[in-house]
Amino acid sequence: MRRQVALLALARQDKTDLVKTLRTITETDARTIDIERVSVWRFVADRTAIVCEDLFRLGSGRHEQGPIFLARDCPSYFRALEESYTIAADDARSDPRTREFSRSYLEPNGITSMMDAPVWREGRLVGIVCHEHTGSPRVWAAEEQEFAGAVANMVSLTLETAERLEAEQGRRLLEQVNPLLRAVLDQMPAGFILAQAPSGRILLVNRAAYQISGRRLGETGERFAPDDPQSLVGALLSRAEMPLSRAIANGEAVIGEEMRLRRGDDSWGLISVNAAPVRNERGDIVAGVAVFEDLTERRLLEADRATGAHRDRFMGILGHDLRGPLAAASTAAQVLMRTEGACPGHALAAARIITSCGRMERMIHDLLDFARTSQGGGIPIALRPTELRALCRSIAEEAQATSPGRTLVLDAAQECWGEWDPERLAQVLSNLLANAVQHGAESQPITLRLDGGTDAAVLELHNEGSPIPEASLAHLFEPFWSLHDLRDRARPSGNLGLGLFISREIVRAHGGSIEARSSAQEGTTFTVRLPRHRET
């Protein structure tokens, strides 16, 4: 009879104030069946945790909020909730459905027996009414279990009323967001979410939030339940642990919290989240807002830069350290060549060593130049009056001497003077001619043309042969790319791939430009434009 009176009183109470109603339910329940602890718990939207909405202690007559339990920490209990009308655990510390709580919850609170009744709403498990007995273990009577189930039904009706009122309040809250503000939010590059308190029901999501998350943060009207959010330490977060949920539940202001998020295409992104509660004029939390930005590309770029900087420093140090041993090897080979009475085989080996040392010396110079440009120093040049036609003739003759089977044609009608660095321009010409010799058709001439204009000199180097693939032209002057590799990626050339990159940097240091065009019909042409006097 006492239990029937209690249920009738609960059915008649005003349910518009959710907090007050839940407190009345837990207190009435505890006093009716004389139990020390009665609490109401709600599932978070993604069903990864339960949150205690109200806990009543009979001995002290006090209401308080309880802890949060994650499904991953107590899977047997969560599974039993789905399968049972009530969980009546007379010995909660040994019952397989509840013993997962023993060390962290039951023993510290002196709980020996539990009787939990699931709360269902429209076919969904949404909460629990938990009865916790202290002292000697308690055997739960069938009438007590029926009463617990009836109280759970009362909680379900209470939640239904609260959700209906909350939806109406959310509608009114959205009406206060005018079209201009909505348009501004949609133009923001950062994601924006407005969620209602206390449920976390999403009221407004801007365009950037969908783009960043891949539409996995929920649609308007759904509960806030991001898909597999993950903290930087690698642990999956429940909804209750999310910044927006903490802002709504605890009034916490979250600033710059970084977390990983699985996006719509199942890739992982990195976001930085700011969240804060929204309060009305009475100071009550009515909503929560979260603003987040995508850090994924920025962090990848930072990592690439850090890797590149480390590589550049390493190459600079390596270049410097190699010069000493290389100079010693070259000197020893030159001494061997001049030694009287040396056998012809030794002289030939020494000549090969000297040639290889020269090639290595040029590679080291390239490494050092690259290290300077990567560290922001640029290619150093020393400008002085230079006659470009004579320089072209000298470099062409050197190339002809090393490639006697090729035909090199210099087309330069007159002298061409300007303020240039002859050593650096010789480096550019040597690189371009070496590429033309290596990749041009052996039966066709290589033409170096010089046109001395009024303000700038124009150099064109042309060769026939296999064209550079069109898709590769954009990468031609990038570091660590070579013409050989661009034409045949399956058989790398083995060189550093810095020649064209350094040539471009030298030309730029003169205030000029270099470009390439290539086709099967017209062959390959490199064009270098050099101002006669660099602007300061």
Of 65, 61, 4, 69, the closest CA to residue 32 belongs to 4
Query: In angstroms, rounded to a whole number, what is the distance separating the alpha carbons of residues 15 and 22?
Result: 9
Residue 14 and residue 141 in one domain: yes
User: Quick one: which H or E segment has residue 439?
Assistant: helix 422-439
The pLDDT confidence band at residue 517, using thresholds 50, 70 and 90, is very high
pLDDT of residue 451: 92
pLDDT of residue 164: 76
Residue 304 and residue 337 in one domain: yes
- Full 3-state SS string of 361-374: HHHHHHHHHHHHHH
Query: In angstroms, rounded to a whole number, what is the distance separating the alpha carbons of residues 347 and 354?
Result: 11
Query: In angstroms, rounded to a whole number, what is the distance separating the alpha carbons of residues 307 and 312?
Result: 9
Inter-residue contact 354 to 329 (CB < 8 Å):
no
Residue 171: partners with Cβ closer than 8 Å, 6 or more residues away: none
Q: Which of 134, 168, 202 is the last residue of a domain?
A: 168
Inter-residue contact 533 to 471 (CB < 8 Å):
no
pLDDT of residue 527: 96
Q: Please tell me the least confidently modeled range out of 103-107, 209-213, 316-320.
A: 316-320
Question: Is it the case that residue 530 has pLDDT exceeding 90?
Answer: yes
pLDDT, tens digit, 9 for 90 and up, residues 141-193: 999 999 999 999 988 888 888 777 766 765 666 566 667 677 777 788 888 88
pLDDT of residue 355: 65
Residue 125 belongs to what domain range? 2-168
pLDDT of residue 225: 43
Of 381, 390, 396, the closest CA to residue 461 belongs to 396
Query: In angstroms, rounded to a whole number, what is the distance separating the alpha carbons of residues 523 and 462?
Result: 7
Q: Does some domain include residue 319?
A: yes
Question: Is it the case that residue 491 has pLDDT exceeding 50?
Answer: no
The pLDDT confidence band at residue 305, using thresholds 50, 70 and 90, is low
Rounded (to 5) percent helix, strand, coil in the chain:
45, 25, 30
Tell me which DSSP letter residue 197 carries.
T
pLDDT, tens digit, 9 for 90 and up, residues 354-410: 666 766 666 677 666 766 676 666 788 889 999 999 999 999 998 888 888 899 999
Most confident of 258-267, 278-287, 423-432: 423-432
Compute the average pLDDT of residues 18-32. 90
Q: Which amino acid is at 355?
A: T
Residue 156 and residue 11 in one domain: yes
E strands, 382-480, in order: 384-387, 408-411, 417-420, 446-452, 456-463
pLDDT, tens digit, 9 for 90 and up, residues 308-347: 666 656 655 655 566 666 666 767 677 667 776 667 666 6
Residue 432 and residue 340 in one domain: no
Note the pTM of the prediction, 2 decimals: 0.42
CATH number of the domain that 396 lies in? 3.30.565.10
User: Could you give the C-alpha distances from 496 to 108, 347, 453, 508, in angstroms and in order?
Assistant: 67, 29, 34, 21
Residue 432: partners with Cβ closer than 8 Å, 6 or more residues away: 461, 503, 526, 528
Residue 154 and residue 42 in one domain: yes
Structural domain tally of the chain?
Answer: 4
Q: Which of 344, 374, 404 is the last residue of a domain?
A: 374
Query: Two tokens at 361?
Result: 């010396």
Q: Does some domain include residue 287?
A: yes
Most confident of 79-88, 220-229, 310-319, 506-515: 506-515
Query: In angstroms, rounded to a whole number, what is the distance separating the alpha carbons of residues 504 and 479?
Result: 10
Residue 155 and residue 183 in one domain: no
